[in-house]
Amino acid sequence: MASVVITGSTRGIGRGLAVEFLKRGHDVCLSSRSAEDVERAVSTLSSVGPGRVAGQACDVSRKPDVQALWDAAAAAFGRIDYWINNAGRATSRHQVHELEESLVHTLVDSNLKGAIFGSQVAITGFRAQGGGALYNMLGGSFKGGFLSPNMGVYSATKAGIWLLSKYLVAENRDKGILVGMISPGMLITENWFDEQRQMSPEDWQKIRPMLNILCDHVETVTPWLVDQVLANRKTGRRIAWMTNGKLMRRFMGARLLGRRRDLFSRYNL
């Protein structure tokens, strides 16, 4: 069985990925900036599956913290097979010129710096131990084809992560290191609800039909993502849940065939 480190894994998609790896018998090291959140998640997830659970508080914008995360996982499991740079932040409330300075720092620090420092630590560790697999998490509009409204700075960080990943692929082809990317699509997470609470009820009702087409629950997507990661042997691959074909079928199903999804009924929204 493999050992896995996932940054930002006490909530949201990171936690969802951790659950699926554990169910399949793999060992997982959880991380979050909050030591209390890590301790709580380790206690809760220890009974999810046969895999072992470890944890380490980590601010991914600080390289010493990231190195400490590697060291803790290596001490717990002996070897690290997969490292997933998942920690990050998104916002969809402001155009680029309106985004407050503190949130710009948060997006760049957690998304881009976190991926850079995580990649540096993981690649160095993988080279020392003779191999491993690194995955970086992408998001919407990372190539600039479709511009998600009010997500310019977030998308810029994800575009940077995509280019970073391309360099990592090229630099590590002959080192026994697989570098991949994960595009999970638009998921309903705690951070997502934090964003929606900033909206008026009128604005929420306007975007709800579109979100029911675009979004998914974490538990719907993460089993497939984990299976794809474990089966993948091709460096440079992007594992994408929401393909253009799937998106087109959803729009056609909703508008032409009357297939209505209601993802928010469980939340009484």
234-260 tens-digit pLDDT: 999 999 998 888 888 888 877 766 677
| 198 inside domain | no
| 146 inside domain | yes
| 199 inside domain | no
Residue 113's CATH number: 3.40.50.720
Tell whether the model's pLDDT for residue 149 goes beyond 90: no
Structural domain boundaries, residue 32 = 3-187+218-242
98-148 tens-digit pLDDT: 999 999 999 999 999 999 999 999 999 999 999 999 999 997 665 655 667
Tell whether the model's pLDDT for residue 191 goes beyond 60: yes
* Average of per-residue pLDDT across 222-226: 98
10-28 tens-digit pLDDT: 999 999 999 999 999 999 9
| 253 inside domain | no
Residues of the chain with pLDDT > 70, as a percent, come to 93
What is the model's pLDDT at position 147?
66
| 223 inside domain | yes
| 251 inside domain | no
What is the model's pLDDT at position 150?
72
Polymer length in residues for the chain: 269
| 50 inside domain | yes
Q: Mean pLDDT score of the chain, rounded to an integer?
A: 91
Tell whether the model's pLDDT for residue 197 goes beyond 90: no
Query: Domains in the chain: how many in total?
Result: 1
| 265 inside domain | no
